[in-house]
Amino acid sequence: MKAEAEEAGEDFERKRAWDWTIDESERWDKRLKKKEAHRDNQAFQDYRQDSRKVYKRQIRDLKPDMDEYEKDKMKAVEKAAASGGLEIVETDDGELVVVDKDGTFYSTADSTGFVEHKPPKEAVDRMVKDLQQAEEARLRKRRERLGKDGEDGDVTYINEKNKLFNQKLARFYNKYTAEIRDSFERGTMM
């Protein structure tokens, strides 16, 4: 299509844009703008920014059941209103608002009845799964950080501190001692 458009003297990008709606085009432009804004922000800068990024990802992946939440909230409000802890007041525009006897909104946890709330088993299982995935990712990154000299290499250390020292020596002197070590392996030391 691009070659045909160039042969006919037409602008290929413009011709291709005819296939998209205005909404799709605006969404694409917004996505590119967001991507451009975040491109410089990829590297680690501080722990606050890093934790905020993790928090936003976790919230995005959370996908709470808002219908169930609203039902539970209404049950708690009705229970509190029936016991006399709350009043349901209608405003001038017809909206129903729940207030305590002193006129504040949900002032205590006792007045709304959320104290004895127990989360469903599925929600707890989802949280445990998320925690396990985070732990696995942390361990995987730690293994990558420690490098390839794990269980598959020769043990040339007596404790962890000695292992780190040997790694430091290897980092600086391996390029000079590679031939000697290879000769030891072959058994042909000069």
Q: What is the pLDDT of residues 120-161, one digit of tens each?
A: 898 889 889 988 998 999 899 888 877 655 555 677 788 889
Does residue 57 fall inside a structural domain? no
Q: Which domain holds residue 184?
A: 154-190
User: Is the CB of residue 11 less than 8 Å from the CB of residue 5?
Assistant: yes
Q: How much is the pTM?
A: 0.40
Residue 166 has pLDDT above 80, yes or no: yes
Average pLDDT over residues 98-125: 65
CB 108 within 8 A of CB 99: no
Q: Let me know if residue 38 belongs to a domain.
A: yes
The C-alpha angle with vertex 79 and arms to 76 and 84, in degrees rounded to 5, equals 125
pLDDT at 108 exceeding the cut of 50: no
Amino acid letter, 108:
T
The CA R_g of the chain, rounded to the nearest whole Å, is 32
Number of H helices, E strands in the chain: 8, 2
CA distance 86 to 75: 13
φ, ψ for residue 116 (rounded to 5)? Answer: -90, 15
Work out how many domains the chain is built from and give that number: 2
The neighbouring-strand residues paired with 100 are 86
CA distance 107 to 101: 10
- 164 found inside a domain: yes
Whether 61 maps to a domain, the answer reads no
- 126 in a structural domain: no
The residue ranking higher by pLDDT, 98 or 32, is: 32
Q: Do the domain assignments include residue 34?
A: yes
For residues 77 and 72, give the distance between their C-alpha atoms in angstroms, rounded to a whole number: 9
Classify residue 71: in a domain, yes or no: no
What's the chain's length in residues? 190
Q: pLDDT above 70 covers what percent of the chain? A: 82
- Please state whether 9 falls in left (phi above 0), alpha (psi between -120 and 50) or beta: left
pLDDT at 40 over 80: no
Whether residue 22 is predicted with pLDDT greater than 70 in this model: the reply is yes
Q: Does residue 96 belong to any structural domain of this protein? A: no
**How open is the CA angle 4-8-12, to the nearest 5 degrees?**
60
